[in-house]
Structure 1
Amino acid sequence: MAAKTTFPALLDTLQQALLSAAEASQKLDAPIPPNDGISLLDVKNELFLSYLQNLVFLIILKMRNRRSGSEDEDEELDNSVVKKLVELQVYLEKGVRPLESRLKYQIDKVLRAADDAKRAEENANVKTNGKVIHDDEDSEEDSDAESTNGVTLKGLEIDDLQYRPNPTSFVRPTAGADDHSRSKSEDGVYKPPRIQATAMPTTTGPREKQDKKPSKSATLDEFVSTELSAAPFAEPSIGSTIVSGGRRSKSEKEKNDERERREYEERNYVRLPKESKKDKAKKGRKDAGYGGEEWRGLGEGIDRIERLTTKKAGSRSVVEKSRKRPATDGPKSNGEQGQHMQKKLKTLDGVRRDRGRR
């Protein structure tokens, strides 16, 4: 734990601070406040001085009340001093500090300019007295003469213009530079930027990402909702949920869709249109097929093997081509049997193509 500050120690600290402030003020030759100074700093000094005065006055009141033993006599005076201290602290925290942070750049610029002027004056005095001092910093400043817009700047000019904006950043590139850059990119090959790499756009959209996600098991959801739940539920009539000729039963999602459809029709007194062939085809592709979800992987594997093993459309072996019957049966026939055979072959080819696409 930190040691408690006593009144004698606090008085000694205040006395030393006042003595140091008095000595510093006596050494100043310039008038207070200066003629061309920053008014914010003057206000800050005045606020700090007033805060110290009120703080010392509050300490004196506390000491006098402690000696006399009567604290009720100067209670109003103590409250007024405390309110004044709070007011000054609010001025410092909410008023001076934000403004000082905004003017920090300008204040640093003025202080740097004053230091540079003082340093230049000292260097001039040294040169006039006939003394030459070689420092590493002076040699670097002399050697690092900057040139802006074709004009060479010496050391003092560089210091004066250190905080100025760079005018070259506002100049647009010339036509020659544009032609040079265009001639480089005329080959048509994409070149990524050197500053920051840019990723090429991909063709995967939200639909492809959704297809890649593993589908949720409706069988497992239905089992959890019916078998593991203690809530009562209504069972449908026997045979009302059997579809596809007894191959499978309606899922919970299909039951909910039918219930919503029926409720909407009863509420609005309208008949919704039936599903189109396109919608049925989409549902057929998404359907689990024979055996439900448990046999879905097996069916997909069989379809993949069939797609890989089936021949391409229109390609027939040499034996099949040799067995192709001609259009004429003989010299006295009209060729009806050959035409029937050609139609039959076309029908078989169409069936094979459909199986390969599936």
Structure 2
Amino acid sequence: MFDPSDSEVHASPAPSRRVLIVEADGGSRGNPGHAGYGALVRDPETNAILMEKAEYLGIVSNNVAEYSGLIAALELAHEIDPDAWILAKMDSKLVVEQMSGRWKIKHEDMQRLAAKARSVVNPRRVKYQWIPREINKDADRLSNEAMDAGIAGVPWKGRVLPGASGTDTEENGKAAAAAPADPVPTGRLHHLEIWVPDFPRAEASLGWLLERLGYVRRDSWSSGASWMGAAGYIVIEAGTDVAGERHERTRPGMNHLAFGAGSPADVDLLARRAASHGWSLLFADKHPHAGGAGHYAAYLENADGFEVELVADRS
């Protein structure tokens, strides 16, 4: 954990000052090429992501994207708590060494971006740490999402994150507990429980897709987890009671789940990205109108035989 009294931080921290971790990454496909960044703020005590952001930058270099990600991450941290001590983690050795003052900044564009980063948060309250790319996976994911969205010509859509503000969470919790819970309307779907033969495999495909659609992971246990959405929650669980190795959607029972997924461009982008998360496109010869001429959707199936339909909004 970040120790704000570390000798590299040339100030004496106030005992009550908050500590935040920021992680950032930038990428450029071609360098220079289509570029984007990902930035997030993490709570060092719970490891929870408090805020995240991604942005497509157009055609710029990788270093510009890396610095842009750092600036965005510092801005997010400042929004949460302008007085916090910050540990900035990046897999860009160049940015970490330059911002730490150990390497000179020779390029004019980098000098300008470094100055902007220093203007967001007092440099005396920021410590920089290099981390391997595989540890920086959340920021890397965000930067790739930004590039994918920009190339597809659609805006990046972030997830809904719980507890993202810098407000007094204890008081918020008391207020929420005191307020009566809204009753679930009669007849409305309360939750859906899906039994799977292999939870880690289902989590990698179904769980990933739910989070991209705006669901937030609520509870986890050894054999499953639940995700909360706008209209109830979905449980994915494995266990000894699960019979069989694969869901058969053509048998009596549930055939598939259908989710609204935004515009046709949003549907196309999500379907393309799903291919690297265990999903394959069904009815490819009729895509994207397998459900009819006036119905724009992508039908996907994962390795366990579960089908999901991503439906585009009607324009």
Q: Normalising TM by the smaller chain, what interval?
A: under 0.3
Higher strand share: 2
Higher helix proportion = 1
Could you tell me the TM-score, scaled by structure 1's length?
Answer: 0.13
Q: Which has the larger radius of gyration?
A: 1
